[in-house]
Amino acid sequence: MTLTVFSAVIFAALLHAGWNALVRGGRDKTTSMAAVVAGQALFGGCLAAVLPLPAPESWPWIASGVVLHIGYQFFLSAAYRTGELSEVYPLARGTAPLLVAITSVTILGITLGPFEWIGVILISCGLASLVIVRSNGRFQLPARGTLMALGTSVFIAAYSLNDGFGARLSGSPVAFFGWLALINGLVFTSILPFWRPGALRALPGAWPVVVIGGGASFAAYALVVWAFTQAPIATVSALRETSILFALAIGVGLMGEKVNLRRLVAVFLTLLGAIALRLGKSS
């Protein structure tokens, strides 16, 4: 992985942690998520209007990507209604890179080098360990929250693989995600009244999240989609989950969360994993 790709994904991780904190900190998690999705659609529509259309062979991947992203968005907002940022985020994000790596190797026939495997496993273990309770070894999340977070991780793994292959066929990764974000936003807001009617009515009052959260979310994933075309999808997927380091910093600095030994160990493992991915040379 080149330094340019590595730096772009790390910056995307920072943006990703920021918009997740906005969603978790909102009074209504579904409204906050809808605001972020609406912001994605706004920025995606602007780019779709000025960039060339993605190649025809990438449009089926855009369609399946919309389905997978909507599943992710509904599962994530449901998880945040029952769990804290520092609980939901690590479990949802930490499991996904390992799922992507296993699928890439066993089903798609992609080869990962030793450093890539070490990095993926270290990051997954580091992030997932953040949800282990201090003494009894059980998850901190309530049972339903745990299921929602794990369901979220499945959608993350699925859309990462989907979007990586679609972007490589599109001829323009940014245009690919621009159209995906635009269609996703239109479909999501069309479904929302049937799921959480009050969330859509409250959307106009959440315009700061639309602009700031939606802009950060769009920029973050646009960078990741571009990175998918420059490096193995599994390694990019793992590296972007270093966003948990930024989420922890936000939690400690802005939300008053405490740092303990378990979190320090998790941070150390995640950093080692990021270094391993940076050293990896597979393409």
- Look at phi and psi of residue 142 and say left if phi exceeds 0, alpha if psi is from -120 to 50, else beta: beta
pLDDT digits (tens, 9 = 90+) for 239-270: 887 777 777 777 777 666 666 676 677 767 77
Sign of CA dihedral 26, 85, 120, 138: negative
Whose structure tokens read 């999808």? 233
Contact between residue 218 and residue 16 where contact means Cβ atoms under 8 Å apart: no
Catalogue the long-range contacts made by 73-77 (C-beta closer than 8 Å, 24 or more residues apart): 73/33, 73/37, 73/188, 74/195, 75/148, 75/151, 75/152, 75/155, 76/23, 76/33, 76/148, 76/152, 77/23, 77/29, 77/30, 77/32, 77/33
Whose structure tokens read 């069309």? 190
What is the distance between the alpha carbons of residues 269 and 126, in angstroms, rounded to a whole number? Answer: 5
pLDDT digits (tens, 9 = 90+) for 51-94: 999 999 999 999 999 999 999 888 887 877 776 666 676 777 77
Q: Distance of CA 5 to CAs 147, 247, 277, Å?
A: 33, 21, 11
For position 283, what pLDDT does the model report?
40
What is the distance between the alpha carbons of residues 29 and 84, in angstroms, rounded to a whole number? Answer: 11
- The tens-digit pLDDT sequence of the chain (283 residues) is 788 998 999 999 889 888 777 776 667 777 887 888 999 999 999 999 999 999 999 999 999 999 999 998 888 878 777 766 666 767 777 777 777 877 877 776 777 777 777 877 887 777 666 655 544 545 455 556 677 878 888 898 899 899 999 999 999 999 999 999 999 999 988 888 887 777 677 777 778 888 998 999 999 999 999 999 998 887 888 788 777 777 777 777 766 666 667 667 776 777 777 677 666 654 4
